[in-house]
């Protein structure tokens, strides 16, 4: 009988001790907000374009943390989807075409002599990349533009173009070497014959 | 001669250096056109300071450095600036970049220039600024602005200066010939560098396949006051790599991600030393360099002293190119150089070699075959990396892993690809992976920046909103207080003077008010009509009463409309008298234009017949309006 009581007492004490430790830890090491949202947000391209259906990158990151699909970000493209899949340990899926297609990087350009100075694009720009004032000509700060295209629609005189970023020697990338390793050099002729036979 | 250490790996490709050392350095004939790229160095491209059509003299500054790491450019000969714009440049991409095009006038007229009297008496910073003004950038291949390296003595303890004369890559003999013919100039340059950096020990690292150059150097070093050692290293590629040469001469390894100055060593190329000598003693900027033109497809392989900006075609012609035998044109050496497609590409400060190779000499690369994990690449890697692992990671786009395997320590020497039995273009894979990682990093930086700006904007908007709200509240309170006090005063006044209550009559009819009145009348009329129709349809009573109201309303609406129109006309007349507001007109015209385009777009999209017809009529009207506005705009705008 005493052994049973001792066992129960020991277990009870242990439970109290761990309960206290856990209770203390939950107060002491409390994390404000959801840290996964920050991690997701840091992977998104921050164009704030809203093509995903959310009003910015952070809201979409929050939605992803709550189970939203990860393939709704056209500016990020497949590489962002893969990074997100990696982070969240889910399957990488192809980009959802409903929200737009992956396009070459673009920046906005204002045809300045047509600008009437209405400031509508300035209000639309999520990163303050358009400079100007009421009744003054506006212009885009190219280095700050994320190419989100949100300024195009509000312009009453249609003077904003989205121009693809040109490849220069400073942003040129080495191409991947051509993939021909699947063939054995001496097999090339034979492979061709077989293909023709089929 | 001191002890020479060793580095891991390395290869012994055929040297092919003898062809181009048979004749002394020749002066390349003056080309008709010089193309001087604005970006010839590591760092920010120079900014042109001449205009198209200007005549410039030899040695005149034509582009100035931008920022700390940059180099200035000078006219290599006298002539006229023909254009400043894109031209093919020596770059692996084959893309065009901005160049200053100079048409030479054949007079080769120098601008006034002179060397420094006694550089040892000058402040080091003044001397370095003079070298910077002369546009000197490392001539060994990387093109790092030399003045930045000469400043290293300010914040590092430099105890060893290494002069790189190894020139380990096959075919290239530019430094070899320079040492044979201008050893005294090199020594003079070393003196200046040594004066600036004050190293305790100077070493010249040279491969043992250049006996004549070694002799020449030894001859000028006799009786030299400096503590200079010539260290002859065994011929092995890539002993001329900066870090490899440091390891050979000192046995020290430069830690990953650090620079040699962190372990007290600074490296300079012999070509750079000569350029510094000419800049300091004669005031001549860097406007020419020695270029090896070699390969089976030229009849007279040799070294030329070529002006910066000389197109390759001119040098090839001077070396008697066999057009038919030329299979590929390589810029740089066969190990690290790149094949180029265009022979109008100019010589720049880092161009040390042009190889015009025949088909047998440098055949098309055999097809890539699967990696058999033979480990030969690992055995030759001078940086002791694991090339095949890097290859797998690069190919599988696992860039993080590649980076963790120290991809960025790879010097792209090509030794691994040289020995690979499966002829895998390994270096290309590494270059691809490196540029992917760099782009990703740049994008990440940009994204972080965009997020910061977005959050700042968001915070600002919220703050503005809050301020607005606060102001509104304050105003409301103010108004309430004012009303309160007015009421009480009015009550007082009413008590004091009960007859003075008539408010002042409003002034002339306000256009805006009239417009609102007309609109209100219109709306009322419409509502009355609807009610009447409804009543008629359903046969309700009181139709007559409604009819009376309707006629009454019609009259009222008419009156309001007329009053508004009259007022508007009066206003318009007044405006016309004042002169047409050009800006307003412009805006109207632009809006009308935009409306037309929008309608046109909508029209192409709609399929409904009726909607289409309506839209067409609308479009016609919009066009008319736009035309009219445009016309009046062109009438009123100053010619």
Strand ranges, E, within B208-365: 228-233, 265-269, 288-294, 302-307, 328-331, 338-340, 353-357
Q: Are B135 and B285 in contact (CB under 8 A)?
A: yes
Token pair of B206, please? Answer: 């040279």
* Nearest chain A residue to B425, by CA: A177
**CA B343/CA B322 separation, integer angstroms:** 14
Q: Listing from the earlier edge strand, what are the strands of the sheet with B96-104? A: B33-37, B96-104, B79-88, B55-56
Of B39, B590, B598, the CB nearest to A169: B39
Whether B450 and A181 lie within 8 Å, measured CB to CB: no
Q: What is the pLDDT of residue A175?
A: 87
Whether residues A47 and B424 touch (CB distance < 8 A) is answered with no
Q: Specify whether the CB–CB gap between B38 and B46 falls below 8 A.
A: yes
CA-based end-to-end distance of chain A: 84
Which residues in chain B have Cβ-Cβ distances shorter than 8 Å to A144? 449-450, 453
Contact A157 B450 (CB under 8 A): no
Strand partners for B162: B203, B267
Question: B629 and B589 in contact (C-beta within 8 Å)?
Answer: yes
Give B91's contacts (C-beta < 8 A, 6+ positions apart).
Answer: A169, A172, B97
Burial A147-178 (b: 16+ CB within 10 A, else e): bbbbbeeebebbbbeeeeeeeebeeeebebbe
Sheet with B353-357: list strands edge to edge.
Answer: B26-27, B302-307, B288-294, B353-357, B328-331, B338-340
A13 is in an annotated binding site: no
**For B586-615, how does the pLDDT look when each residue is reduced to its tens digit (9 = 90+)?**
788 888 888 888 888 877 777 777 777 888
Question: In this predicted complex, what is the ipTM?
Answer: 0.78
- Cα separation, A185 vs B366, in Å, equals 8
Nearest residue of chain B to residue A86 (CA atoms): B398
What does the alpha-carbon distance between residue B85 and residue B63 come to, in Å, rounded to a whole number? 13
- Cα–Cα dist B429/B405, whole Å: 14
pLDDT at A187 over 70: no
What percent of chain B stands above pLDDT 90? Answer: 59
**Residues of A with Cβ-Cβ distance to B370 under 8 angstroms:** 181
Partner residue facing B432 (CB), from A158, A175, A185: A175
Structure tokens at B549: 């109201």
Q: For residue B93, which residues of chain A lie inside 8 Å, CB to CB?
A: 167, 169, 172
DSSP B488-505: HHHHHHHHH-TT--PPPP
Which of B136, B79, B111 is CA-nearest to residue B277? B136
Q: How many CB atoms lie within 10 A of CB B146?
A: 28
Kindly determine whether residue B447 and residue A173, on different chains, have CB atoms separated by under 8 Å.
no
The pLDDT, as a whole number, for residue A196 is 45
**Are B447 and A176 within 8 A, CB to CB?**
no
A180 and B432 within 8 Å at the Cβ level: the answer is no
Between A and B, how many CB-CB pairs are < 8 A?
A: 98
How many beta carbons lie within 10 A of that of residue B17, not counting itself?
A: 20
Q: Which of A127, A157, A169 has its CB closest to that of B591? A: A157
Give the lowest-confidence range in B270-284, B294-308, B420-434, B535-549: B535-549
Question: Which of B370, B425, B597 faces A177 most closely, judged by CB atoms?
Answer: B425
pLDDT value for B280: 94
A165/chain B closest Cα distance in angstroms: 13
- Token pair for residue B311? 């197109």
Query: pLDDT category, B541, cuts 50, 70, 90?
Result: low
Question: In this structure, how many other beta carbons lie within 10 angstroms of the beta carbon of residue B310?
Answer: 29
Q: Name B524's Cβ contacts closer than 8 Å, sequence gap at least 6.
A: B553, B556, B557
Chain B residue numbers with beta carbons less than 8 Å from the beta carbon of A171 are 439
- Looking at beta carbons, which residues of chain B come within 8 Å of A41? 451
Minimal C-alpha gap between B152 and chain A (Å)? 27
Residue A6 or residue B520, greater confidence: A6
pLDDT, greater one: B212 or B550: B212
Q: Which residue has the tokens 């960025």?
A: B408
Is residue A159 marked as binding? no
Residue A181 DSSP label: T
User: Inter-chain contact B367–A180, Cβ cutoff 8 Å?
Assistant: yes
Cβ distance B450 to A173 less than 8 Å, yes or no, reads no
Q: Is the pLDDT of residue B360 over 50?
A: yes
Which residues in chain B touch residue A48, judged by CB atoms under 8 angstroms apart? 450, 454
Express each pLDDT in B483-495 by its tens digit.
998 888 877 776 6
**Taking a contact as any Cβ pair under 8 Å apart, which residues of chain B between 510 and 569 contact chain A?**
none
**Cβ(B105)–Cβ(B317) below 8 Å:** no
What residues of chain A lie within 8 A of the CB of B436, using their CB? Answer: 173
A173, closest residue in chain B (CA to CA): B435
Does B502 score more than 50 pLDDT?
Answer: no
**What mean pLDDT comes out for the span A21-44?**
87
Helical (H) or strand (E) element with B402 = helix B399-404
SS3 per residue for B413-477: CCHHHHHCCCCCCHHHHHHHHHHHHHHHHHHHHHHHHHHHHHHHHHHHHHHHHHHHHHHHHHHHH
Q: Which domains does chain A have, with CATH numbers?
A: 35-99 (1.10.15.40), 106-164 (3.30.70.20)
- pLDDT for the residue B627: 86
The answer to whether residues B111 and B97 touch, using CB atoms and an 8 Å cutoff, is no
Is A39 a residue whose pLDDT tops 50? Answer: yes
Does A114 contact B425 at a Cβ distance shorter than 8 Å?
Answer: no
Q: Do B432 and A176 touch (CB under 8 A)?
A: yes
> What mean pLDDT is reported for chain B?
88
Q: Do A169 and B97 touch (CB under 8 A)?
A: yes
Structure tokens at A121: 């694009």
Q: Which H or E run contains A188?
A: helix A188-197
Contact across the interface for B369 and A176, Cβ inside 8 Å: no
3-state class of B375 per DSSP?
coil
Q: How far is A99 from chain B (nearest CA, A)?
A: 20
Residue in B269, B233, B23, B291 with CA at minimum distance from that of residue B144:
B269
Regarding predicted confidence, which is higher, A149 or B508?
A: A149
| CB spacing of A156 vs B39 below 8 angstroms | no
Q: How far apart are CA B273 and CA B279, in angstroms?
A: 10
pLDDT tens digits along B164-210: 999 999 999 999 999 999 999 999 999 999 999 999 999 999 999 99
Which of B95, B367, B594 is closest, CB to CB, to A157? B594
CA–CA separation, B56 vs B484, rounded Å? 81
The answer to whether residue B398 neighbours chain A at the CB level (below 8 Å) is no
Cα–Cα distance between A72 and A171 in angstroms, integer?
27
Range A121-126 average pLDDT:
91
- Listed by number, the residues of chain B in 22-41 with a beta carbon closer than 8 Å to a beta carbon of chain A are 39
Share of chain A above pLDDT 70, in %: 89
Of B44-58, B131-145, B552-566, minimum mean pLDDT range: B552-566
Nearest by Cα to B126 from B90, B156, B150: B150
Would you give the DSSP letter of residue A98? G
Q: Quick one: average pLDDT of B27-55? A: 92
The structure tokens listed for B304 are 């030329």
Which residues of A sit within 8 Å Cβ distance of B? Answer: 41-42, 44-48, 56-57, 79, 114, 116, 126-129, 135, 144, 146, 156-158, 167-178, 180-181, 183-185, 188
């Amino acid at each position: 009988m005493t052994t049973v009581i001792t066992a129960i007492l020991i277990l009870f004490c242990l439970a109290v001790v761990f309960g206290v430790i856990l209770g203390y830890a939950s107060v002491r090491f409390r994390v404000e907000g959801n840290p996964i949202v920050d991690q997701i947000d840091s992977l998104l391209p921050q164009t704030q374009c809203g093509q995903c259906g959310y009003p910015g990158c952070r809201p979409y990151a929050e939605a992803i943390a709550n189970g939203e699909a990860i393939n709704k970000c056209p500016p990020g493209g497949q590489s962002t989807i893969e990074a997100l899949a990696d982070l969240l340990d889910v399957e990488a899926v192809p980009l959802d075409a409903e929200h737009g297609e992956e396009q070459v990087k673009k920046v906005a350009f204002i045809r300045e002599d047509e600008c009437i100075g209405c400031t509508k694009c300035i209000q639309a720009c999520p990163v303050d990349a358009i400079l100007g004032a009421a009744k003054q000509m506006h212009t885009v700060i190219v280095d700050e533009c994320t190419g989100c295209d949100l300024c195009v629609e509000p312009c009453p005189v249609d003077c904003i173009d989205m121009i693809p970023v040109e490849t220069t020697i400073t942003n040129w990338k080495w191409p991947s070497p051509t993939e021909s390793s699947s063939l054995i050099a001496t097999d090339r002729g034979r492979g061709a014959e077989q293909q023709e036979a089929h | 001669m001191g002890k020479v250490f060793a580095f891991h790996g390395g290869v012994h490709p055929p040297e092919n250096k003898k062809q181009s050392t048979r004749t002394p350095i020749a002066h390349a004939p003056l080309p008709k056109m010089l193309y001087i790229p604005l970006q010839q160095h590591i760092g920010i491209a120079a900014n042109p300071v001449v205009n198209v059509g200007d005549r410039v003299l030899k040695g005149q500054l034509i582009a100035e450095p931008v920022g700390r790491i940059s180099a200035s450019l000078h006219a290599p000969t006298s002539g006229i600036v023909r254009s400043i714009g894109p031209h093919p440049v020596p770059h692996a991409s084959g893309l065009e970049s901005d160049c200053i095009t100079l048409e030479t006038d054949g007079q080769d007229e120098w601008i006034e220039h002179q060397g420094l009297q006694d550089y040892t008496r000058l402040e080091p910073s003044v001397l370095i600024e003079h070298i910077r003004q002369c546009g000197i950038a490392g001539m060994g291949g990387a093109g790092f602005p030399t003045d930045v390296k000469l400043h290293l003595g300010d914040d590092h303890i430099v105890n060893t200066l290494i002069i790189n004369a190894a020139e380990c890559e096959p075919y290239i003999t530019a430094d070899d010939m320079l040492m044979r013919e201008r050893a005294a100039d090199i020594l003079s340059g070393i003196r200046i560098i040594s004066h600036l950096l004050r190293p305790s020990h100077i070493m010249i690292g040279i491969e043992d396949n250049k006996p004549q150059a070694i002799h020449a150097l030894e001859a000028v070093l006799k009786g030299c006051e400096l503590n200079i050692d010539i260290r002859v290293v065994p011929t092995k590629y890539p002993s001329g790599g900066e870090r490899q040469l440091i390891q050979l001469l000192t046995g020290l390894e430069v830690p990953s991600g650090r620079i040699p100055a962190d372990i007290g060593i600074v490296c300079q190329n012999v070509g750079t030393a000569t350029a510094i000598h000419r800049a300091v003693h004669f005031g001549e900027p860097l406007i020419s360099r020695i270029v090896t033109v070699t390969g089976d497809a030229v009849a007279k392989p040799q070294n030329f002293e070529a002006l910066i900006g000389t197109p390759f075609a001119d040098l090839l012609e001077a070396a008697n190119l066999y057009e038919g035998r030329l299979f590929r044109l390589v810029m740089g050496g066969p190990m690290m150089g790149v094949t180029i497609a265009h022979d109008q590409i100019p010589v720049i400060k880092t161009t040390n070699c042009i190889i015009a190779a025949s088909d047998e000499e440098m055949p098309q690369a055999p097809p890539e075959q699967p990696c058999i994990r033979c480990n030969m690449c690992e055995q030759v890697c001078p940086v002791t990396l694991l090339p095949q692992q890097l290859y797998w990671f690069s190919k599988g786009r696992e860039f993080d892993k590649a980076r963790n395997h120290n991809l960025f320590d790879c010097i792209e020497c090509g030794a691994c690809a040289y020995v690979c039995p499966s002829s895998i273009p390994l270096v290309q894979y590494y270059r691809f992976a490196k540029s992917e990682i760099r782009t990703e990093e740049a994008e990440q930086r940009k994204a972080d920046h965009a997020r910061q700006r977005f959050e700042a904007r968001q915070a600002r908007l919220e703050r503005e909103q809050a301020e607005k709200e606060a102001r509104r509240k304050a105003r409301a309170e103010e108004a309430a207080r004012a009303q309160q006090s007015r009421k009480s005063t009015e009550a007082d006044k009413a008590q004091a003077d009960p007859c003075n209550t008539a408010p002042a009559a409003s002034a002339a009819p306000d256009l805006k008010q009239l417009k609102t009145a007309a609109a209100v009348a219109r709306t009322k009329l419409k509502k009355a009509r609807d009610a009447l129709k409804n009543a008629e349809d359903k046969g309700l009573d009181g139709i007559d009463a409604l009819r009376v109201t309707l006629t009454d309303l019609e009259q009222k609406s008419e009156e309001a409309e007329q009053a508004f129109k009259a007022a508007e006309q009066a206003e318009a007349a007044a405006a016309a008298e004042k002169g047409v507001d050009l800006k307003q007109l412009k805006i109207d015209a632009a809006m009308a234009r935009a409306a037309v385009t929008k309608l046109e777009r909508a029209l192409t999209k709609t399929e409904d017949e009726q909607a289409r017809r309506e839209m067409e009529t609308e479009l016609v009207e919009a066009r008319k309006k736009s035309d009219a506005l445009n016309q009046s705009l062109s009438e009123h705008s100053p010619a």
